[in-house]
Amino acid sequence: MDTFNFEVRRSRIQGRGLFALTDLPARRKLGELGGELITEREARRRARGRASVMIVEFGDGTALDATRLGTGFKYVNHSCEPNAYMRLCRGRVEFYSLREIAAGEELTCDYGETHHDGRLPCRCGSARCRGAL
């Protein structure tokens, strides 16, 4: 498998983001989120009242909490017009490129539904922005 290099730095979208240090090909696995495998119930308990969590629910009663133990991929911000996507597979969250990504670009993916329930304004800056998360 190819290894690509990424860097966490300040993002124009929000807080910190994950940026490509090299050009990335389309449709390629970029890396994994990592973190702590927990129950969905525990995930919801942890998410309550916290502004910033990186928890992915698998829909089978389990979830991955990357907030403390995850890799740099926990800094991937949401965009309504993303250049990457998450693939959920038995307790793992893998990131793939949707298209070619140039060195220096911020990695983004579409979070879909979030625990914010549409109350968090989206600042992705895309012309196709849905407005909220």
Q: What is the DSSP letter of 123?
A: -
User: Which residues partner with 78 through β-bridges?
Assistant: 109
Strands 29-32 and 92-97, sheet pairing: antiparallel
Told to check if 38 binds Zn ion by CB under 5 A, we report no
Told to check if 109 binds Zn ion by CB under 5 A, we report no
Q: Which is nearer to Zn ion, 76 or 124 (CB)?
A: 124
Helices (H), 1-133: 40-47
Told to check if 133 binds Zn ion by CB under 5 A, we report no
User: Which residues partner with 101 through β-bridges?
Assistant: 24
Q: Which is nearer to Zn ion, 64 or 124 (CB)?
A: 124
Q: Among 80, 84, 86, 107, which residue sits at the site for Zn ion (rule: CB under 5 A)?
A: 80
| Interaction site with Zn ion (CB under 5 A) | 80, 122, 124, 129
